[in-house]
Each structure stands twice: as structure tokens, then as C-alpha cells.
Structure 1
Amino acid sequence: MGEGTGMTFSLLGRCAWTRQFGAAVTTSSIAVGTRVPFLAAGIGGVLTQHRTDPRLGPRGLDLLRSGCTAAETVAALVASTPDHRWRQIAVMDAQGRTAHFDGERVKPSRSVSHGQDVVALGNILANERVAVAMAEAFLAAADQPLAERLVRALEAGEAAGGEHGEVTSASLTVVDRECFPYVDLRIDKAVGPIPALRALWEEYAPLADGFVQRAIAPEDAPII
């Protein structure tokens, strides 16, 4: 099957202190990071999955920019697509409010969990606890950087049972103040993509600020 028909678990998260937004996702098909998560600095984020329509991501961000809340954005996205029965959508707005939609053709087990500055969801999962475990892990790591919290949430989702089948791709994205991502890491095809994403994040973490510095103040930027 794969992400085209589901088998995906993901989350959107926000850091109340830095105002960063982030998303992490994993699935059974190739290159999930190109299709599911959409983020904009200072605006929020959108997840679009199951029979995935990536057009809903930019459309959702435009709605958020126009002043729509998360709930209003989800309602407008559902109304805008005649194929909403196949869609699973989550949205977070600039205030950290969250909303989601499960179309009637989204395959079980489905799972969703909303918390302070987080929404986690999935489809074709091993059990309904997967999203709850993800949100709990995110909230329990409140003292960690946002990207770390997102990776821990993916790990918790896998530990709680994950999908019906093996995942093969994963992605981690965080936006901060600039028009480009603060973190944008992808495992496009691998056995064990979540551990691979963990290793990639741990290598990237000490370099992230330096890459931003290169853009905004190159004279003082570190050599990386």
C-alpha cells in the first residue's frame, strides 16, 4: 500500500518560547517529506495524508495567512476538495490551536490526539494508541528543542505499534523566523527510517544555528 493510501503517522508541534513550528512524519512509501508536511514561519502548519493531496498544504497555509483559525482552515480545505472522503488533514495556527479531519474512506486503525501546541494523527495503524503516545512524548519533552521533541514523538509512535507494516521514509521540518526552514531533514528510502532520522538530526543539531548565521550575518558565521 504505502502513503498514497495511508499507513502514515505524523504530528505538528509548536514551541511556545521560540515560536518555532515543526512537523515530523513517517510512512511505508518513498519520500514522504515531499508530500505531507507544509509549514510557514510565524503562520503555522498543515499535514495532508492518506490518499494524499499535496495541493491542500499550500492552500491551507494561504488560509492561515489570511487570518483563518486552524478550525476554519480545516473546514475550508474540506469544502474545497470533492475528494475529502479520502483525506486526513491536520492544521495548527499561529496561536498553537489545532484541528483535524478524517474522511470516511480513511482506513483504520485511525488515531488522533490534540494537546497544548501539538496534534498527532495517523491511519492504517497497528492500534488507536499511536497518536496518543506521540502527543504524550512531545509534551513530556517540553524542556527540549522543538526538533528533538518531534523526533521523540515519532519514536514513541513506532514504539506504540506504528503502522500495519514497515515504514521506509521519514522527515523532520522546523521553521523559525526566516523564509527557509531551520531544519529540513529527510530519509527518503531506508530500512529503519526513524533511527536514521534520529542520527541525522543529532549530526545536524549543532550546525543548525550556524547555517542560519551564514545567511543573515556571513561575516560572523562559523566555518562548518
Structure 2
Amino acid sequence: MTFSIVARVGDAHGVAVASKFLAAAAVVPAAEAGAGALATQAWANIAFGPQGLALLRTGVRAEDVVAGLVASDPGRAQRQLGVVGADGDGATYTGDECPSWAGGVVGDGYAIQGNILTGPEVVREMEAAWLASAELPLAERLVAALAAGDAAGGDSRGRQSAGVYVVEAGAGYAGAGDVACDLRVDDHPDPVTELRRLLGVHELLFGRPDPDSLLEIEGELAEEIEARLKELGHATLDQWAGVENLEGRLVEGKIDPIVLARLRGEV
């Protein structure tokens, strides 16, 4: 009843999932910075999350994590599982009693799987999208793969929910945690499209400014910023950015072009 991708880029790990199931992303993904990530689905065994991460934390390879979890589970025939560790290929498992079509594919740093799909083309298209988007950040690559699977047919019962979860050491809000991205669409007629929209908003608000693109606040630009802030009823850029939740993109004496575009009302 679900399709997902579990993947790694560098030190970042993440999971993206979509399903005709309420709030699938509240059940399916688990990830820990520096250890790995997994997806548990079909007749999901939620114990796989903490158990699998405990194994990954000790350096157990993805295929051995899958083997260990499945071997100890009497309900294995109805389970589906994808795992990626800190290095090497991902691993996937589909129990014999998972509703058709069900299966998965793996490669270096990824595992893609689904059940009750319209056909194998769903996971094939997800894999193609993943491999073709190496220039994107992990969260965007995961959602691009999810969108490809959705476009190929996705869950044969229809659409309801989607989510993306990414962890990386120190990549959380204000550098205070490891959760770089945790977005969910729990009940929506077009959840993957809505997830992509939310990811764009997330990047706008919480993305880190590119040092090479920063503009010096001086001359005409400084005058423009001061005038626009006055029109909006704010005394300082800091004050306005706090209202807009853009304080993480502020740099002393400079301005992020994305912040400037927001100030100008362009985004």
C-alpha cells in the first residue's frame, strides 16, 4: 500500500514515502545521523525502526540488518523493508504475502520498494529519477524520485499521503539538531505535489545562504532595503526577517538574494 525510497548522499540519510494511507510518513521512515535510514511498510512492523537503527549504529551492513530483522519476525511474509547504512549498497526485502505488485530495487546508497503498486514501472521510474538527479540536495532528490513513482502509477488504490525525512549531523534548525527536513502531507488528494510545494517553502525559510551569492548592503541597495522596510512598517531588516521566519538567512552587512527577493515581494 506504499512506495518509498531510502537513500544516502555523503553523510546525510533520508526517506521519502507516499501511500493511499493516512499519515504514512508517521509510520514508515526512521533515520539517524551517522548511522543510516530505513523504511518499514506493507503490514509495517514499527519495531523495525529502533531495532534497525541500533544495528546500523554498530556498523552492521544494510543487507545484514534486513536479514536480522526479517529472521526474527514471525510476520515476515507480510513485511516490506528498505535499509541504507553509512556506506555500501542499500538492501530491500518484500515478503511473499505482500499484495501485488510488490518488489524493489537497490544500488549504491539507495533502496526503493513498494507494494500494491500499478506495476514494476513505479520502482523503475523512481530509480531512474534518483540516478538522474545527482546534482540536487538529498531531500529534493528523494522527492523527485517519489514524484516519478507517482507519475508512473504509484499506489494502485490511489493517493492520500506523502512525506520526506532527512537527517545529517548538525543540519537541524539553527544547527541545534540533526533533523534537516521533516515534512508530511497526511491527507491530501495530490500529496506528492503538495509535498514538493512544502519542500520549496522549507528551502526558502530554512535553507542556508550561499556565501558566493551574498550582496553587500551599501549604496543604492541599502537605500532600497531601508525604503522597503519602512513601507512594510519595520525599522530593521532583523525585525522584518523575524516576522517572515527568514532570520536563518541573515548575514551581517550582506543580504541573501533570496531574502532580497522576498523583501521585494517576488517570492
With the length of structure 2 as denominator, give the TM-score of the two structures.
0.74
What does residue 4 of structure 1 align with? none
Match of 1:112 among 94, 104, 115: 104
**How many Å separate the matches in 1 of 2:186 and 2:248?**
30
Change (3 A) 1:26 1:45: same
- The letter of the residue matching 2:8 is R
- The letter of the residue matching 1:58 is P
Following superposition of structure 1 onto structure 2, how do residues 122-137 of structure 1 map, counting pairs within 5 Å? 122-137=114-129
What is the CA deviation profile of residues 100-147 of structure 1, one whole-angstrom value per residue up to 9, with x for unaligned ones?
111111111013121232211100100111111101101100011111
Match of 1:28 among 8, 13, 20: 20
What does residue 86 of structure 1 align with? 78
**How many Å separate the matches in 2 of 1:170 and 1:123?**
15
1:208 and 2:200 aligned: no
What does residue 217 of structure 1 align with? none
- The letter of the residue matching 2:5 is L
**How many Å separate the matches in 2 of 1:199 and 1:96?**
32
What does residue 155 of structure 1 align with? 147
SS in structure 2 at match of 1:182: strand
What is the CA deviation profile of residues 169-192 of structure 1, one whole-angstrom value per residue up to 9, with x for unaligned ones?
100111111343100000011110
What does residue 163 of structure 2 align with? 171
**How many Å separate the matches in 1 of 2:53 and 2:184?**
21
What does residue 10 of structure 1 align with? 4
User: Which aligned runs of 4 or more in structure 1 are off by greater than 6 angstroms?
Assistant: none
**How many Å separate the matches in 2 of 1:109 and 1:23?**
21
What does residue 186 of structure 2 align with? 188
**How many Å separate the matches in 1 of 2:103 and 2:59?**
28
Measure how far apart 1:207 and its partner are: 2.6
Following superposition of structure 1 onto structure 2, how do residues 47-86 of structure 1 map, counting pairs within 5 Å? 47-86=39-78
Structure having the higher Rg: 2
Measure how far apart 1:221 and its partner are: 4.5
Structure 1 residues without counterparts, runs of 5 or longer: 1-6, 211-219
Q: Provide the alpha-carbon RMSD of the alignment.
A: 1.6
Aligned positions, number: 207
Measure how far apart 1:22 and its partner are: 1.1
Bigger relative contact order, structure 1 or 2 (CA pairs below 8 A, ≥6 apart): 1
SS in structure 1 at match of 2:104: strand
Range with greater deviation from structure 2 (199-208 or 139-148): 199-208
What does residue 216 of structure 1 align with? none
Match of 1:141 among 125, 133, 137: 133
| 1:38–1:47 contact (8 Å) kept in structure 2 | yes
With the length of structure 1 as denominator, give the TM-score of the two structures.
0.88
Structure 2 residues without counterparts, runs of 5 or longer: 171-176, 209-246, 251-258, 260-267
